[in-house]
Structures are given as C-alpha cells and as structure tokens.
C-alpha cells in the first residue's frame, strides 16, 4: 500500500483543487490495475498569507506567503506533493522542490461580480480587488470608480460584497467556476481589456527532488505548461510579484504561442501593454523578449 499525501491550503477552493489532483491519481491507479494500491490523503494547513488579511500582499511579503508552510511540509517529508494555483506561486522555485505538472487551464479571464440581486454598479461604493495589476487596468475601464483592496478567501469576499461594502468585485473566473459559482459572474473581461495574472486558471503540482511521481503520468497539460512557463518567464525577467503590477497571458494554438504582457514603471508611473507571437517551443524566450521590450519602451531606454 502506497500513501500519497497532498499538501494544501485550507480554503474551500484550495481543498477542492487538491481533490481534483487526488481524483486523477486514484483514477489513474485504478486504470493501471497494477495490484499496488495507492491511497491519497490531503493535509491542509493555514499559510501566512491566509492569516495576515489586514494588509495588501505587497506590504507583507508577496506570493511566497502562500507557499512557505507547504514547502516546509514537503521538505520535512510530511507531504509528497503540493497543489497550488500557479498564479500564487513565486517566480523563484527551490531546486529541491520542482514543479512537476500543470493542469489543463480553466477559464483564465477576470470577471466582475455584483451583489446578489443587483444589476449594475453603484458609483457610491468602491470596486473590491486584491491586486495592483487589476487596480491599474480597472482605472482605465472604470475611471469614475474608486478601487479598494479586499483580502480573504472567496467566500469571505463574496460575503463582504453581499453585505454592501463594495459595489462589485473583480475575481478570477477559474475559482468561481470550480466552486460552482459561475452564476455570480456579471461580466467577463477579455484578455485585451484586462490581461490576467501569469498562471491564472492553471493548477501547479509541486514535488520533492528525487521522488518517483509515476502516478502523475499524463496529468500535465502540454498547452498549459507552454503557456504557464512563458508567462512566468515574462514576470521573472521583470522581477514581478505581488508588489509590482505586471501581467502576462499566453495562448497556445498548435505549434504557435501568442503572449500579451503589461509593464508598469514605478519610476515614471507609465504603463504599457504589448504582444509577441512565435513558435510555442520558444515560449520562455519570447516571454523574456516581450518583457525586455516593454520595459525598454516604458522607461525610454
């Protein structure tokens, strides 16, 4: 009997996402019918990012706050793998804890969610959003609206919205759809209107170097891997995390990749978007090239 322990944040969405990977491993094992039983359990834990909710992420340490405890559990052998939303992962991943696979991508778009029973935005209440990337692009889409930070898990944010604190929320379609809350979506933003966060809609499975992960064979989605690594290369070049509003979104069609990017210059207050197209296998190089170009254009170098 082999036991596989999946490390997960304890939010409802995080556990659901870990259960999706758990189901895959169990189904794969049944299909193989190799005689060796695999049991899969989920180990949940509260991360620092889930505890500190009174400040924006850029003020308290960025994306790393959502993975620190899960990384420690992996290193200590308390878990065999971790499941993350790729968009929450730092760009630097420890060599001893490699990314093993990316899931097929769920809807990557950002969406507008209104209070229950409400048909349009109330201009006297702020829009709630959790990232500088969204805030920047919202000011172009809704120049007359105030944008206010909101933290907490999805259920907490929706409760604050429905209690009247906000006129609307900007959220990721992926999380709402996975939780069966698609009916709450009032408007989808196209990637041209609002470039998504790098990795949005993709689940990342992280493991420990030197371990056998044969039970994950076939899980990794080729297009998601190519798109996700291209987006992360873009952000990594710009040293972007939660503290700087950068965005990257790649679409793979056969052997071609199309990447959109957003860059903001703190020095000038200017921001630009751009795009690049090329061979899918060159995604990382193209992501870096686009980042380099936009930074140069924005800072006049």
Q: Which residues are catalytic?
A: 88
Check: CB of residue 128 under 8 Å from CB of residue 114: no
Among residues 11, 5, 4, 20, the alpha carbon closest in space to that of 201 is found at 20
DSSP the chain: -EEEEEEEESSHHHHHHHHHHHHHHHHHHHHHT-S--EEEEEEEE--HHHH--SS-HHHHTGGGGGTHHHHHHHHTTS-SEEEEEGGGS-S---TTS-EEEEPPPPP--EEEEPPTT--S--TTSPEEES-HHHHHHHHHH-TTS-EEE--S-HHHHHHHHHTTS-SEEEEEHHHHHHTT-GGGEEEEPPTTTSPPPTTTT-EEEEE-TT---GGGTT-S-HHHHHHHHHHHHHHHHTT-STTS--EEEEEEETTEEEEEEEEE-TTT--EEEEEEEEEGGGHHHHHHHHHHHHHHHHHT-
Tokens 């090329």: give the residue: 278
How far apart (Å, rounded) are the C-alpha atoms in residues 201 and 125? 28
What's the half-sphere exposure (Cβ side, CA atoms, 13 Å) at 198?
33
What CA–CA distance (Å, rounded) separates 65 from 49?
5
């Amino acid at each position: 009997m082999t036991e596989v322990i999946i490390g997960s944040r304890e939010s409802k969405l995080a556990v659901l996402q870990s259960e999706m990977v758990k189901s895959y491993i169990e189904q794969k094992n049944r299909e193989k019918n190799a005689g060796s039983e695999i049991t899969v359990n989920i180990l949940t834990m509260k991360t620092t990012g889930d505890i500190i909710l009174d400040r924006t992420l850029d003020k308290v340490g960025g994306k790393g706050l959502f993975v620190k405890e899960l990384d420690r559990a992996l290193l200590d052998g308390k878990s065999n793998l971790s499941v993350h939303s790729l968009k929450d992962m730092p760009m630097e991943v420890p060599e001893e804890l490699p990314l093993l696979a990316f899931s097929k991508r769920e809807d990557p778009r950002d969406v507008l969610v209104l209070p229950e029973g409400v048909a349009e935005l109330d201009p006297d209440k702020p829009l709630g959003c959790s990232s500088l990337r969204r805030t920047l692009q919202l000011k172009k889409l809704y120049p007359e609206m105030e944008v206010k930070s909101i933290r907490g898990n999805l259920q907490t944010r929706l409760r604050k919205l429905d209690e009247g604190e906000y006129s609307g929320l900007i959220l990721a379609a992926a999380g709402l759809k996975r939780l069966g809350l698609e009916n709450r979506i009032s408007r989808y933003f196209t990637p041209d209107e609002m470039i998504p966060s790098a990795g949005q809609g993709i689940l990342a499975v992280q493991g420990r170097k030197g371990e056998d992960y044969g039970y994950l064979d076939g899980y990794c989605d080729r297009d998601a891997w190519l798109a996700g690594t291209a987006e992360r290369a873009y952000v990594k070049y710009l040293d972007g995390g939660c503290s700087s509003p950068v965005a990257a979104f790649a679409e793979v069609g056969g052997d071609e990749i199309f990447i959109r990017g957003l860059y903001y210059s703190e020095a000038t207050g200017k921001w630009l978007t751009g795009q690049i197209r090329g061979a899918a296998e060159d995604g990382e190089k193209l992501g870096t090239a686009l980042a380099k170009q936009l930074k140069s254009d924005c800072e006049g170098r």
